[in-house]
Every structure is written in structure tokens, then in C-alpha cells.
Amino acid sequence: MTVTGSKGRRERLRAETTAEIKKVALALMASGGPDAITLRAIAREMGMTANAIYGYFATRDDLVTTLIKDVYTALADAVDAAWEAAPATDPAIRITAWATAFRTWAVVNAQGFRLIYGDPVPGYHAPEGGPAPDAARRVCTGLTALAAAAWPHTQHLYEHSAFGWSDFDPALLDKVRPAFPDLPPAAVALALRIWGHLHGLVSLEVYGHMHTQTTSPEKLFEEELAQLVQMLGVPRRS
Amino acid sequence: MTVTGSKGRRERLRAETTAEIKKVALALMASGGPDAITLRAIAREMGMTANAIYGYFATRDDLVTTLIKDVYTALADAVDAAWEAAPATDPAIRITAWATAFRTWAVVNAQGFRLIYGDPVPGYHAPEGGPAPDAARRVCTGLTALAAAAWPHTQHLYEHSAFGWSDFDPALLDKVRPAFPDLPPAAVALALRIWGHLHGLVSLEVYGHMHTQTTSPEKLFEEELAQLVQMLGVPRRS
DNA sequence: CAATTTACTTCACAGCGTATAGTTTCTTCA
DNA sequence: TGAAGAAACTATACGCTGTGAAGTAAATTG
């Protein structure tokens, strides 16, 4: 045991270098997009050679995968925090807060959004099960919380839903069902559909496709939220 | 005038080579994704050197831009055709047909969808106004037709809409307003929102994010359509 | 203090887009 | 018909990328 930590000096330096690599990579991404994440550029920035990075990440794709996981986790943290900060007694406000946090994060961290949801980087292929299934499922669980909050008011619309538990990934259900024991499959389907709605508007905006059509994507998103709350039938201003 | 065409042999060969470059590029894309579109690979496939392509396209980005335009036009053709083929008297069927054609095209031409809506290719930057604004606006116009068909049944939901004509791109309005003179701004906003809904679900599916959560994205999309028609309030089975 | 592990550099190779210069082939006009 | 000119294409080269193999210097360990 030392004052600087329990592990030896070597491991501490190693952890610091690893952190710096990621930090520099994210900075490059922020300024030049995911494409700008190159080993040589990172090394240049750090005053090293590109091959030195191989001591910390087995391959460039490994680094990118780690970055995706980190960035995705940051997104999940942001929306979770917004959800928790809103009053649990008012589903409409909570849902609006979650979705607004989602879009705000995406607009502020546009390159991070592209890293997570687009083709991250030339030639990158995600490892089995996606790069950040945990973070993705955290987001989905958050969405299910959203659907769960609205479910008492909206379930009457889905009495003829064709969904069963077998339609969903077991790993997702492992997280979702214990958290919301009374929720039927139709509610999870609703959560995924809401995800689609929000993701679509935001990704069109982030990738610049909305900008060609409308000058106020934010207003569009706000109307979307108003409609969402209305469609879900949750009471407003409770 | 010759039997093979009005332009000289030279121009005909030139057009054929141009077409072959695009064909090979699309084939490479279909098998290896947008990243596989490299001048050297195309040239290899054609038995030429990479530099020969510079006689037909000033730069690789020029080629990619042309491909985006072509592919986007194919998408616009597909959804337009589905719309026209459905009975004009039944908005519900027409809307469903349009959206189904959209998803089907995207799933079948997944790499084309990524080319259009993702970061197409390493380092690619779209020229001013986007690469295929025409095709994009054709799709938006199609969406507006969708909203227009539903408008009589759904306008009561948007009486307090905050949208004005200034919220939209003039080039879009030039196409949309003459075609649907009685439509208010709120209907165009609705069209863009529907675009977002469909685009989100489809792009999550195409990029493999849905697959981590549900085994039946198609069922999800079908429920989305059913809900869309219901939300719009258009009569079913008229 | 010697042996080993770790961190890093150097060199190399293949792939990419693309600029420049040179070559071959076709078209056109006197 | 033959010379001039344009068009199509190749060859070479440069800088960028990821990454493998080999070598070096410093820190850690016995």
C-alpha cells in the first residue's frame, strides 16, 4: 500500500497511459469525427510511435470498441440521470426529461453518437454481440422504465398485441423483467418503438439529413415529445 | 446517326465504362459494405489501373456522391412505386404500402441504406447541400403526400402547432406547396416526424442495434405501422 | 549485481487516394 | 491517306493508414 494507490507504480503509469490514449482518441474524434481516430494521430499527439499503442490495445478495433463502450456508457449515464432527476410522480415530465436528455446529449456529442450508432470507423467490425451490449441494454432498460411509467395509461391500446417474451433477447429480459415484474411483452415492444422514434429524429438531425429540410429540428423534436406524451395518455401537469 | 446511337462510338464506350465503374462499385458495396468502395478494388475488378478511373470521376468522393444519388433515387423510385400501386381511395393501405416498401428496400439494400444515411466511406465529405438533395426531397415529398392523405382525419390534433413556413427549407417547400396547396406547415412537420419514426426503426435494424434486443424487428415495424395508421385516424378497410 | 520483464522504437510491408509524366490508341481533317 | 490532336490509359511516386518482427533501453525482481 502506498499513498498513490494499492497497485504498484508500474500499473499506475500503465493505467494513466491507457487513459491518455482514450482521452486523445476522443479529442480527435470530437474535432474530426470517428474517422480521425487513427493510431498514428494518437501517437503523434502523445509524442510516441504508433506501435507503442499496441502495448495497451491489441488492435485498433479493440481501442474503438473500448471507446464505444465508454461513450455509450456516458450516454446511458446522461439519460439515467435526467430520469432520476425528474419527479417520479409525474410520468409526463419524466418521459420528456429522458427524451430531451437523449437528444441534447446526441447534439452536443454528435461525433460520439456517430461512433456508437453509425459505421464507427473505416473497416471496423464489432466483436460478437455488439461492442457495448451492456450500455445498449441500459438504454433499453431506461426506455422500458419509460414505457412502464406510461403503461397504466396506455395499455388499453395494446390489448391485441402479437408480442410474446420469445420475441426479445433473453439478456434484455434478464434486466427488464426483474425490474418491472408486471409488465407484459407489449410494453417492451412499445419501449423499442419509442426508441425508434427518438433515434430516427435525432440521427437524421445528427447526420445532417434533417437540416436539408427544416431549420428547426429542435422544434420538431419538441412536437414529437408532446405527441408522444399525448399518445401514451399520461396525465400532464399532475 | 448510327444503329447504336446518335453520339459517336467514343462517347458510347465512355458511357459504358462509366456505367461499369458504377456497377462494380455497387457490387463491391453490396458484398463488403460502403467501405469496400475503393478505386483500386474497382480497377482491379475491371482489369485497369486505379488512375484510369480519374478519367471518369474527378475524385473518389465524386464517384461516391454519384453512387449516393443513384442509390437514393432507387429508394425514392421504390417507395413512389409502392405508393402509386396502392389504391388512392384508401389512405391506410397507401400509407402502409409506402412504409413497408421503405423498410423492405432498406433491409434488402442494407449497404445502400448505410451509404445514403450513414457515414458513407472513410473521409467522405458531402458537397454543399448534401449529395442527393433531389432524391432526399423526393422522399420527403412522398412523405408529405402521406401526411396529406391523412390530414383530413388528423389535423384536429395539430391545431396548436407552432410551425410556420419559415421553419422549412425553401427548396422543399417549392416541391411540396404546389403539390399540396391546402396543406399547412403543421402537416409538413408531421411528415418529417413520421420520417423520423420509420427511419429510426429501420436504421436501428439495419445497423444491427435492434437485433441485440429483439428477434423480430419486422413484427415491431408492423405494430408501428398499425399504430401510425391508428394515430393518424385514417379509416381502415374503406 | 545479474536476470527478466516491460515499454518503447525502428524498419518493413501492404493497402489506400491521388498528383505528375509518359505512352498508346482512336478520331478527325486537309 | 496521312499527319495532328485528343482521349484513354499506365507507370511511378508521395504521404497516409494498420500492423507484424526485431531490436533497445529502462525498470523491476531475485
Instruction: Indicate the domain borders of chain A.
Output: 1-57, 68-232
pLDDT at A135 exceeding the cut of 60: yes
pLDDT at A98 exceeding the cut of 90: yes
* Residue of A113, A129, A124 lying closest to A72 (CA atoms): A113
Q: CA triplet B30, B34, B36: central angle to 5 degrees?
A: 80
Contact indicator for B86, B142 with CB cutoff of 8 Å? no
pLDDT band at A130 (very low <50, low <70, confident <90, very high): low
pLDDT at A1 exceeding the cut of 70: no
- Phi, psi at residue A29, to the nearest 5°? -65, -45
DSSP annotation of A215: S
Partners of A214 in the beta sheet?
B168
Residue B113 grid coordinates: 441504406
How buried is B106 (Cβ within 10 angstroms: 0-12 exposed, 13-18 middle, 19+ buried)?
buried
- Topology, domain A68-232: Tetracycline Repressor; domain 2 (1.10.357)
d(CA B124, CA B115): 11
Instruction: Work out if B230's Cβ lies within 7 angstroms of strand D.
Output: no
Residue A181 grid coordinates: 415484474
SS3 content of chain B, % helix, strand, coil (to 5): 70, 0, 25
Question: What SS3 state is found at A5?
Answer: strand
- How far apart are the CA of B98 and the nearest CA of chain A, in angstroms? 17
- How far apart are the CA of A52 and the nearest CA of chain B, in angstroms? 24
Partners of B214 in the beta sheet?
A168
Confidence (pLDDT) at A237? 65
Confidence (pLDDT) at B4? 47
Nearest chain A residue to B197, by CA: A197
Residue B60 grid coordinates: 473518389
Q: What residues of chain A lie within 8 A of the CB of B207, using their CB?
A: 117-119
Q: Is 1.10.10 the CATH number for A1-57? A: yes
The identity of residue B7, as a single letter, is K
Report CB contact under 8 Å: A166, B215: yes
What would the mean pLDDT of A14-18 be, rounded to a whole number?
Answer: 95
SS3 content of chain A, % helix, strand, coil (to 5): 70, 0, 25
* Residue of A153, A158, A191 lying closest to A172 (CA atoms): A191
Instruction: Work out if B54's Cβ lies within 7 angstroms of strand C.
Output: yes
CB neighbour list of residue A10: distance below 8 Å, 6 or more residues apart = none
**Percentage of chain A surpassing pLDDT 70?**
92
Complete DSSP assignment for A121-187: STT----TT-S-HHHHHHHHHHHHHHHHHHHHHHGGGGTT----GGGB-HHHHHHHHHHSTT--HHH
Which of A136, A201, A223 lies at the smallest CB-CB distance from B212? A136
CATH of B63-232, one of 1.20.120.450, 3.40.50.2300, 3.30.300.20, 1.10.357.10: 1.10.357.10
Report CB contact under 8 Å: A215, B118: no
pLDDT, tens digit, 9 for 90 and up, residues A54-87: 999 999 999 999 999 999 999 999 999 999 999 9
Each residue's pLDDT expressed in tens, for chain B with a length of 238 residues: 444 444 566 778 899 999 999 999 999 999 999 999 999 999 999 999 999 999 999 999 999 999 999 999 999 999 999 999 999 999 999 999 999 999 999 999 999 999 999 976 666 777 766 667 889 999 999 999 999 999 999 999 999 899 999 999 999 999 999 999 999 999 999 999 999 999 999 999 999 999 989 999 999 999 999 999 999 999 976 5
Which of A114, A166, A204 lies at the smallest CB-CB distance from B119? A114
Residue B42 grid coordinates: 474497382
Residue B158 grid coordinates: 395539430
CB neighbour list of residue A110: distance below 8 Å, 6 or more residues apart = A206
Residue A30 grid coordinates: 470530437
DSSP annotation of A214: B
Confidence (pLDDT) at A10? 73
DSSP annotation of B127: P
The identity of residue B45, as a single letter, is E
Confidence (pLDDT) at A180? 97
Same fold, B1-57 and B63-232: no
